Each structure stands twice: as C-alpha cells, then as structure tokens.
Amino acid sequence: LNGGAVPSAPPTYT
C-alpha cells in the first residue's frame, strides 16, 4: 500500500 489516507465520508444522509 502507498500509505494514502483511508477514504471516508460523512454519516448517512437523511
């Protein structure tokens, strides 16, 4: 792995 940031997203849109 290249050590890039782990993708993340805001909590579920409601």
> What is the nearest approach in angstroms of another protein to the Cβ of residue 6?
6
Binding flags for another protein, 1-14, as an x/- string (CB under 8 A)? -xxxxxxxxxxxx-
DSSP 1-14: ---PPPP---S---
Rounded Cα gap, residues 14 and 12, in angstroms: 6
- What the block records as the tokens of 9 is 């997203």
Sites of contact with another protein (CB under 8 A): 2-13
